[in-house]
């Protein structure tokens, strides 16, 4: 049985930095992990790449050959990877033992882990290979310094959690860039009534029922 982390989250949330820090920690503690790049648009890494989707397809090639934009090209790359799970990925996984730990550094386009089924099918393939998989969702801590951004971030996390159906850990990243840590701490364990009160102060009265429903979902 192998182990795998899917590192997901919006673009710029610090996924690659997290993977790099995790790799450095494991080296220091004399534990082995292998990091896999699933971003066909990636250019440089601060960690050694064990597997790289760009060996199969790159975003630049997809955009040039198919005349696609960045988002359409990325979706095409993911679909191409999905079509090659039994070939390219299976061949790459043969180099790893049953107790190896793989960390998948995923692209940041949010639709890939909210409603497009690629990652869910990717997870199912790993599970068929007896991998135990968990999801790590990174969210920029600067997004949770006010209630509307906090609700938005929670809904995005929840959408990924429901779509992937995996053990799921949410991580607030870039805490060193938050000038007032207390602003973030207020949202770590919020009460629904407090969220409703803050939302109602920021939004028009016609949204009161929606605000109450959203706060109850977060609760």
Distance CA 188, CA 183 (A): 10
Distance CA 133, CA 101 (A): 10
Report, as an integer, the average pLDDT of 53-57: 94
Give the pLDDT score at 95.
Answer: 85
Kindly tell me if the per-residue pLDDT of 163 is higher than 80.
Answer: yes
Query: Following DSSP, what letter does each residue of 69-127 receive, concatenated?
Result: -HHHHHHHHHHHHHHTIIIIIHHHHTTS-TT-EEEEE----GGGGTT-THHHHHHHHHH
Give the pLDDT score at 115.
Answer: 78
Report, as an integer, the average pLDDT of 183-207: 88
pLDDT band with cut points at 50, 70 and 90 for residue 110: confident
- Residue 75 C-beta-side C-alpha neighbours within 13 Å: 12
Report, as an integer, the average pLDDT of 90-115: 88
Kindly tell me if the per-residue pLDDT of 1 is higher than 80.
Answer: no
Residues shown for the chain: 219
- Other beta carbons within 10 Å of 92: 16
pLDDT band with cut points at 50, 70 and 90 for residue 30: very high
Kindly tell me if the per-residue pLDDT of 126 is higher than 90.
Answer: yes
Kindly tell me if the per-residue pLDDT of 213 is higher than 90.
Answer: yes
pTM: 0.91
Give the pLDDT score at 191.
Answer: 85
pLDDT band with cut points at 50, 70 and 90 for residue 78: very high
């Amino acid at each position: 049985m192998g182990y795998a982390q899917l590192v997901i989250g919006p673009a710029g949330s610090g996924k690659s930095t997290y993977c790099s820090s995790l790799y450095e920690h494991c080296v220091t503690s004399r534990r082995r992990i292998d990091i896999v790049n699933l971003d066909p648009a990636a250019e440089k890494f601060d960690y050694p790449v064990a597997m790289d989707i760009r060996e199969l397809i790159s975003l630049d090639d997809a955009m040039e050959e198919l005349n696609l934009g960045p988002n359409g090209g990325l979706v095409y790359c993911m679909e191409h990877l999905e079509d090659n799970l039994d070939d390219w990925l299976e061949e790459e996984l043969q180099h790893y033992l049953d107790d190896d730990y793989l960390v998948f550094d995923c692209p940041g386009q949010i639709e890939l882990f909210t409603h497009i089924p690629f990652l869910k099918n990717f997870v199912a393939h790993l599970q068929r290979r007896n991998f135990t998989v968990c999801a790590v969702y990174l969210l920029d801590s600067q997004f949770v310094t006010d209630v509307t951004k906090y609700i938005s971030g929670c809904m995005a996390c929840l959408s990924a959690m429901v779509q992937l159906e995996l053990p799921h850990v949410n991580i607030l990243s870039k805490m060193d860039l938050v000038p007032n840590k207390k602003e973030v701490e207020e949202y770590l364990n919020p009460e629904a009534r407090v969220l409703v009160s803050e939302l109602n102060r920021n939004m028009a009265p016609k949204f009161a029922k929606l605000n109450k429903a959203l706060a109850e979902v977060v609760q």
